[in-house]
Chains A and B, each alone.
Chain A
Amino acid sequence: MIEVMNLTKNYGSLRAVDGVSFTIPAGRITGFLGPNGAGKSTIMRVITGFTPASGGKVEVAGFDVSRQPLEVKRRIGYLPEHVPLYEEMTVRGFLRFVAGIKRISRENHQSETDQVMERCGLTVMANRIIGNLSKGYRQRVGLAQALLGNPPVLILDEPTVGLDPRQIAEVRAMIRSLGGEHTILLSTHILPEVSMVCDSVIIIHRGRVVYDGPVPDSGKGGASLEELFMRAVAADPAGQDEPAGIRREKEA
């Protein structure tokens, strides 16, 4: 569903993403891990068509992001990192606006926005001004706009940041329930979240993929996700001192 081929992205002389390739099959929930500044958000921005790639190719549902951006954008729901929103609008007004943009037919605006507000627990806040909402609710509005129009691909940049523990559990359950019919790429810093929600995991370090494979199951006596992450991130991605374990797991 999402195919990233040899993607590079430079900011001036800084190479933020360096030859990244991975494939996410349809219906899979993939966790996107990496230390701060590893290039996760940059890769997500390239996939959504917000930032152009310096090199390489990204395809979503068979459409090239740089050639047919509109076709790609129709199929992606995107929650950006800092959840930018139109502060002066009400929750309902904003979601109606997004429904119009996402080519949802006029007679379905009401039902679709109601449904997505229900799903994100926003119904009680429907008539509030977005600028007055708490961070958790803003996050939900961001999620709601991504879900509107039921796009097959969801790109979620840290969806549970700023939520209280109960909301986190709810959002995780929701993402879990979206798997299967949606292809989801989910970036996070919370490792247990990946174990709980994701089918597979990609670890990025200094703009390169250092692990791409299933979520390790510590119950079976293997390395836990945390150990895997620490090992992957400790390794110099360009160098020779790569721990032997990683390459094997990558090929597996």
Chain B
Amino acid sequence: MSRIWTVCRREFISYFQTPVGYVALGVYALICGLAFVLSLFMYAKVSVQPPAYGYTSIPNFGEALVSPYLVFCGILFMFLSPLITMRLLAEERNRGTLELLLTWPLTDRDIIFGKYLAAVGMLLLMMPVIALHLFLASRFRPLEPAAIALGVATVVLMGLALISLGMFISAVSRSQVVAGTLTFGVNLVMYIAGNVGEKLPQRNPAPEGWPEMLRAGIGAVWELFRGLLTQLPLDAHARDLTLGVARPRDIVYYLLFAAFFLFLTFRALESRHWRGK
């Protein structure tokens, strides 16, 4: 356990021995701040004249402002997470320090959890910004402390999943640049897929005239495809959570996502035992 902590501490400190840590935190705080201010202005405009924006009455504060803002914060982390995760293992491999790491008395568990926790530490450092914004928002309209906590927790959950994915990609890459680009690409595709998935028609795309068996088959595949596109992306499960609806399946989704890629990271690091044997 103390080995995990040792690895974690070095990894975490080294974020701030290079500009990476400051850049990631600074950019995150800046963009979150802009997003918060802009959505607050927008909400103010809408509540003065709801019909002009297609509302019949003043829109719900949580639904119209807090929830979209929190989902945005999660999506923003989606695009900043490569900065935090790309170095985790790819850099060790690139500069050869993996040879030290793997010949010191450490287990794979010490290395992977240590690094994962360091990246999670970076994620947690970003959260006070969001908490501050929510606290400010609660000055205008009362927000339940539990709702604020759940909102921040949602962004953390998204972060846990994203860091895990990024670390796996870093574990199979030789260079940071490749790992970062690939992580960014995967996140982007996932985000776009979610948006596309929502716009896909629900009805069976097979023409009416086709045999019933074939139509049923295509319908099933289509349903599965559409389901994957709408349910798999990371932001899809955040919406209800940020509204204060804590459904276990949404929380479990993020935890399973993180666990799955942590598992793959273990396998990737282990592959040295059988690859090229």
Contact = CB atoms under 8 A, between A and B. Distances in A.
Interface in B220-269: none
Contacts of B100: 78, 80, 84-85, 145
A98 interface: yes
A51 B98 CA distance: 12
Nearest to A70: B105
B272 A88 contact: no
Which of A53, A80, A82, A86 lies at the interface centre, i.e. has the most chain B CB atoms within 10 A of its CB? A86
A39 to B, nearest CB: 15
Contacts of B45: none
B2 A89 contact: no
Contacts of A51: 272
Contacts of A12: 276
Nearest to B274: A52
A100 B103 contact: no
Task: Please tell me the size bucket of the interface on A.
Answer: 20 to 34
Contacts of B18: 88
B202 interface: no
Given A52-B273, A88-B18, A101 B106 contact: yes
B139 interface: no
Contacts, number: 70
A113 interface: no
Interface residues of B, number: 26
Contacts of B9: 97
A49 B102 contact: yes
A101 B7 contact: yes
Given A11-B276, A12-B276, A70 B104 contact: no
Contacts of A127: none
A160 interface: no
Given A86-B14, A97-B10, A103-B105, A52 B272 contact: yes
Contact of A101 (B3, B96, B272, B273): B3
Given A70-B105, A89-B14, A101-B7, A52 B95 contact: no
Contacts of A89: 10, 14, 17
A82 B96 CA distance: 8
Given A100-B6, A101-B3, A54 B277 contact: yes
A16 to B, nearest CB: 11
A87 B100 CA distance: 13
B224 to A, nearest CB: 40
Which of A76, A78, A97 lies at the interface centre, i.e. has the most chain B CB atoms within 10 A of its CB? A97
B99 interface: yes
B99 to A, nearest CB: 5
B104 A101 contact: yes
B156 to A, nearest CB: 27
Contacts of B10: 86, 89, 97
B181 interface: no
A86 B105 contact: no
Nearest to A101: B104
Contacts of B17: 88-89
B49 interface: no
A52 B102 CA distance: 12
Which of A48, A84, A89, A98 lies at the interface centre, i.e. has the most chain B CB atoms within 10 A of its CB? A84
A73 interface: yes
Interface of B: 2-3, 6-7, 9-10, 14, 17-18, 95-100, 102-107, 272-274, 276-277
Which 8 interchain pairs have the tightest Cβ spacing?
A: A84-B96, A100-B6, A88-B17, A73-B105, A48-B103, A74-B105, A84-B97, A78-B103
14 contacts: A49-B103, A52-B272, A52-B274, A73-B103, A76-B103, A80-B103, A84-B95, A84-B97, A84-B98, A84-B99, A86-B10, A89-B10, A100-B3, A101-B6
Given A70-B107, A102-B105, 20 more contacts: A10-B276, A10-B277, A11-B276, A48-B103, A49-B102, A49-B103, A50-B99, A51-B272, A52-B272, A52-B273, A73-B105, A74-B105, A80-B100, A84-B98, A84-B99, A84-B100, A85-B97, A86-B10, A88-B17, A89-B17
